[in-house]
Structures are given as structure tokens and as C-alpha cells.
Structure 1
């Protein structure tokens, strides 16, 4: 998890002086390393995200079948034939619903962004201040990551491979999501400037992903609480 705090800087393009970035990330990683994820936290909260949407159309069925294939084998390795077989269609029938495999990937990324935005909005409805908001955001992101592991991994790994016109709205959605975190983090830690806050937010994401991978995404309330505690440590709480 501590290495995740450092390594996630390769996933974004925040412009910040190298020395300051190093200081922030070392401090963040050391905080993560000293967290006892099993210790009770008075600010711990239970977050229940909405379960996987039930596919009620053929288009939704194709998307639901493609996501685990992309997550397991990678977008480039999955064929239209594999997707079609998973839903009992001839490969040519896919084109009635999607113009190609790239459009299925774009739909998956849009679904990931929409689900996360909805959960974040819901989590902030009853917060009592910026510290509480950060706790809600962390718990929600962790819950979302465990609930939608395959979808989240596809969106993170394959977004860069989308054509620019399909990638643009997804990048904007990502920026809006990060802006929510950045705003609340700066309210809770006013000594941070926007760039520093953004680096720490991404460090928190890296912690969540690497801790989840370390647990092989085996879900459970205790595991979600432990990963949330690590994320909060990365952010300075």
C-alpha cells in the first residue's frame, strides 16, 4: 500500500516541483506504513454501494459480458467472437448494438465513471465537515473498488487506448471526481496548495488499488475498513 502511494504518480500529469513531490509522497508512504489497519477508527463508516446493475437489454448484456473478459485478458486480446459467444450471439449480431469493440470499451468506461459519480454524490449528502467528507470519499472509493473490481480495472487500464473523441468526456469526468476530493482535502488541510492536494489524492487512489490487489480483492467489511484506514493515512489523517 505504501508503494502504491508513491507509484500512482505515474498515472497522472500533475505539474509539481520534483523535490516537493518527493517530500509529499515519502511522507504519505511513511504514514501508510505506520497505519495499523486492524485498529478501530472512531471515524470509520459503513458504505454500501449499489450492486451491479441488472442488464435488461441486449446492449447491456453485451457490456456485462465484455467487462470481465477485458479485465481478465486485456482489451487487445479479447475478440468480438468471445464477447458474442458469452451472450449467445453470432459475432455479426454485435454490430446491431455497438459499432465495434472500442465502443463497448467506451461504454464500460462511461459506466464506471457514472457509477462512481453517483456513489460519491450520495456519500456527501450528510457529511458534517471536510474531515467527515474525506472519510466518506475514502470509504466510498474503497467500497466501489471492491464491488466493481473488474469494471474499475478495465476503466483504469484501458482508458488511454480509446480514441481522443471517446476519451475526452471520460477524462473530464475523472477531473471532476478528483476536484471533489481536492476541494475537501484542502478544506481539511488548508496548508496544502491545489497541486499538493491533487498529488495526495492520487496517492490515496494508489493505496486503495495496491491494498486491494494485495488482498486479491477478497471482499468483506473488515477488509474495506482496513483499506480505508490506509487511504486516510496516505491523505494525512
Structure 2
């Protein structure tokens, strides 16, 4: 996933492609907010002025980076080998999941709508393929297509490595398991959430900060925005939190503590590994569907934490996944650690993607559908 800069003073014919590849690497590794146009120019051994001959600014560059990642998925045609081809593309475009979820939040609304439309078109094509081969309702087909793309892009969120051909075969296998899953009926009309707002000002600030950090990114969300969300002036936040960073740490700790407590509950109540996995799938899905903002912050904002909080957060997430992996491998000892982790990460990503999809998040039957798909992927 790295690029090699051309020799200084040389002007390769594919300079635009090299710029896009270098920018994708930098945005993926360091985050859009931390990368400058000068950083990108240095990565391809050109001056910043040369960069602006291709792109008017950093936002336009990010749009084109994401489009370059989406286009190969759009070009996959329907057919018996559609899933296998999508899996190959997913391995080749491994950065897309993070770039789409984490970095496009910094773009203007019109650009986000355009990119979302293109992604949905690709998923809709696969949903039509599924309906051509199975008796599915439109909502069931949409759910399975979203779950499949969540699985394919899950490899963007970790650094587990396999040879490319082997990776594509594994993703195809998981996609086939998703496509064959027996689903419950999924209501097409979302139900209203019954969550009540806390009266505590501190709790209200935490809840508002979590949503803004998830939707706009920690770097973009301001204390003024957070205060406005609970009808107080920005400086009044300091009665409850010393800084925006302290708010982020509190939000992260809340999500991480839930993971620890739920894992302990599932292990204590389970009759065996299979039962524990079943309970974990259900409980994680339930939490993500009700608190998708906390899950999003855990996934996207760890890099903004200072040490040792960053290390502690990552260790908590690693330990949580490791417990899932242990349960999966106890069910199938022949499965190696890497493949088991890829399966677990796929399930978590599927749940996260469905949870951030408004038209499905509160639909009747969605929790049961996630449990069915999660069980199929881990089986």
C-alpha cells in the first residue's frame, strides 16, 4: 500500500495517478486533517505548485482519491464470479473503508452526497445480483449487500496480512456465507428510537460530543458546537470538562468500558464457546444499533488520544477481539489465528456499517439479521 516517488526533476506520464496513490497512503496513515498539500507534493518529489496544476485543493484531492477507490467496484459486472471479482478489488483497494468512513467527513456535504450515491450504486448492483439468485425481499437484498461490502472493506481497519490470492479467496468464502444466510423478515420502515436524553448536563455534553466526534471527526468538532448542542455557551463546558481532549477521553472510556463489561457478562453466562459467541454477536449488535456514535468514535478517533490513553484504548480493543478469536478457534481448532481474526473483524465491521445506515438501524428484525450473518461468518 505504498508508493515510490519518482526521481526529482523527472516528470512521469502518470504523475496524476502517482499523486492520488501518495495522497491515499498519507490520508489513510495520518488522517486528512494532519496531511498538507506540501506533504503530498514531497511524497511524489514535486513542488506544491505542480500539485495545484492537477488539483485545486486538498478537498478535491480527497474526493478524487475516494473516487479512484470506488471506481473498480463500479466496474465489476454481474455474473457468477461477481463476488470473487469484488473480493479481488477489495484487496487491491484496501484503504477505501477508512478513507470513506473516517476522512470523507471533512468534505462539503455535496461531495459526500455524490460519493455516497456512487457507493450505493455499487451495492445496489450486487443486491440485484443476489435477488436474481435467491428469493429475497428488496430490504433483505439491500441488507446482504451492505453486509457484504462491510465485510470486504473490513480489511481496511486492521493490518492482518495474507498473500493477495489467499486473501481474495477468504473474502469470497465469507461473502458466500453471507449470501447464503437465512434471514428473518426485515421491516422496511424504521421504527422510532425510544432513547431519552439524560438530565445531567455532564451526560448531555458527553452524548453530544460523541455524536459530533462520530459525524464530523474530533479535529472538526469544536467546543462551541458541543455547547450549542446542549444550549450552553462554549466556556461553560469547562465547569464539567477541562478540554475537548478530556471529552474525547471520556467518550472513549465509556465505549471501552462497555466492551469490557459485556465481554465479562457473556463469558460468565455462557454454557460454552458457541453460546458465548452467540451472546457476543447479539450484545455487540444491540449496543452498536443503539449507540453507533460510541462505536464510530472507538473506530476512528483513537489516534487523537495522547499516550498512555491511546495505548490503553488500542490494548482494550485488541484484548476484546482476542477473546472473540479464542472462542472462534475453540470451535474450529484447524483455523489459524490470522484467518480467525479476519473473520471476527469482518463481523464487527458488518455490524458497524449497518448501525450507521439510518434506513436499517432501527428496522424491525435487524438485530436478528445481524446475528444470523455474524454466525454464518464465524461458523
TM score, norm. by length of structure 2: 0.54
Higher RCO (CA < 8 A, seq sep 6+): 1
Cα displacement (A) at 1:169: 0.8
Pairs within 5 Å for 1:71-86: 71-86=214-229
What do you get for the CA RMSD once the two structures are aligned? 2.4
* Distance of 1:154 and 1:134 partners within structure 2: 24
1:97/1:56 CA distance change after superposition, 3 Å? same
Cα displacement (A) at 1:149: 1.4
8 Å contact kept, 2:292–2:352: no
2:269 to 106, 114, 126: 126
Greater than 4 Å deviation, 4+ residue runs: 51-58
Pairs within 5 Å for 1:149-188: 149-188=292-331
Cα displacement (A) at 1:55: 5.2
User: Structure 1: which 5+ residue stretches go unaligned?
Assistant: 40-50
SS at 1:125 equivalent: helix
**Which residue does 2:168 correspond to in 1?**
22
The size of the alignment, in residue pairs, is: 225
Deviations 1:147-172 (A, max 9, x none): 21122122222223333433111101
* Distance of 1:5 and 1:218 partners within structure 2: 17
Larger Rg: 2
SS at 1:170 equivalent: helix
Cα displacement (A) at 1:53: 10
Cα displacement (A) at 1:91: 2.0
2:203 to 54, 60, 71: 60
Deviations 1:112-149 (A, max 9, x none): 11112212221222222211221111111111111211
User: Structure 2: which 5+ residue stretches go unaligned?
Assistant: 1-146, 186-193
8 Å contact kept, 2:292–2:356: no
1:226/1:69 CA distance change after superposition, 3 Å? same
1:136 to 264, 269, 279: 279
1:117 to 248, 260, 278: 260
1:6/1:218 CA distance change after superposition, 3 Å? closer
* Distance of 1:172 and 1:53 partners within structure 2: 32
